[in-house]
Amino acid sequence: MVLIQIVAQMRMMKRLQRLLLKLRSCYLPAKRMLTNCSEKFKHHVSIHFVRLVVGVMLVMSVSVGVSRTPSWALIEENLIFLEAWSTIDRAYVDKAFDGHSWLSYKENALHNEPMNTREETYMAVKKMIPTLDDVFTRFSEPDKFKSLWSGTQGALTGVGSSIGYPTRFDGSPAGLLVISTAFEGPTNRVDMLYRGGRCHFYEFDCYCYPP
HEC per residue, 18-59: HHHHHHHHHHHHHHHHHHHHHHHHHHHHHHHHHHHHHHHHHH
Residue 120 lies in a domain: yes
Task: Tell me which residue range forms the domain holding 92.
Answer: 76-152
- Report the alpha-carbon distance of residue 41 to residue 35 in Å, rounded: 10
Both 88 and 144 in one domain: the answer is yes
Domain presence at residue 101: yes
171 assigned to some structural domain? yes
- Do 97 and 124 lie in one domain? The reply is yes
The span from the CA of 113 to the CA of 98, in Å, is 21
Identify whether residues 84 and 146 lie together within a single domain.
yes
Question: Of the residues 129, 152, 175, which one is the last residue of a structural domain?
Answer: 152
- Distance CA(1)–CA(5), nearest Å, equals 7
30-86 pLDDT, tens per residue? 455 545 555 554 555 455 444 554 454 554 544 444 444 344 567 888 999 999 998
pTM over 0.75: no
User: CATH number, domain at 92?
Assistant: 3.30.750.44
Rg (CA), the chain: 52
pLDDT value of position 143: 85
The whole-angstrom separation of Cα 210 and Cα 197 is 8
Phi-psi region of 119 (alpha: psi -120 to 50; beta: other; left: phi over 0): alpha
Structural domains of the chain, count: 2
- What backbone torsions phi and psi does residue 168 show, to the nearest 5 degrees? 75, -5
Q: Does any domain span residue 91?
A: yes
Same domain, 81 and 146: yes
Looking at the structure, tell me whether residues 111 and 146 fall in a common domain: yes
Residues 138 and 111 in one domain: yes
